A and B are shown apart, each in its own frame.
Chain A
Amino acid sequence: SQKIEQNSEALNIQEGKTATLTCNYTNYSPAYLQWYRQDPGRGPVFLLLIRENEKEKRKERLKVTFDTTLKQSLFHITASQPADSATYLCALTNSGYSTLTFGKGTMLLVSP
């Protein structure tokens, strides 16, 4: 069955460092991969989308890579800030009007 794995342990880093989060998937050939941010008590907020034929996508301090051979996406936040502390979710989808399949998310804690 389709499986998406994100590191279940919280990632603790210091302010100013680069945070790198991992999303691995199996038994799936997604056409698109998305990253969302979720704060406690709130719904997820869309951050970035990357297509299967794109290797890398950037948006301000955020960078996403998508390696369909390794079946892995990496999500980077450069110059991290305490305000970046949240849970980050990756989600996969195929082409067409298909559903989003989410990973369970990784909590990021950025300390001052």
Chain B
Amino acid sequence: KAGVTQTPRYLIKTRGQQVTLSCSPISGHRSVSWYQQTPGQGLQFLFEYFSETQRNKGNFPGRFSGRQFSNSRSEMNVSTLELGDSALYLCASSSNRGPTDTQYFGPGTRLTVL
């Protein structure tokens, strides 16, 4: 079974630009969560999608948004990039986002904002 894939793996943008990151979950998984990881703050939850609906949202500004498609693939978008948005963005999928479900993480997209 193929794991969670994320594209692109690396991205360099400048302040003010916008970026779209993509995540393909494990086949059959309908829940996709997104996290931001930085050395200072660690892993922070952005949002979670289940069956194309946002089910949970973390404490991030509205510049961060996401969506999920009918095939469970998900994208997240960051508009008006700031230097502080430089981070590793991770997505994780699970079969049905319950508290005991294992979350399977992708390798992440390393975003650098200059």
Contacts and interface: CB of A to CB of B under 8 A. Distances in A.
Contacts, number: 59
A99 B4 contact: no
Interface residues of A, number: 25
B42 A31 contact: no
Nearest to B39: A104
A45 B104 CA distance: 7
Contacts of A59: none
B42 A43 contact: no
Contacts of A96: 98-99
Interface of B: 4, 33, 35, 41-45, 48, 50, 55-56, 58, 90, 92, 97-100, 102-108
Interface of A: 31-32, 41-46, 49, 51, 89, 91, 93-105
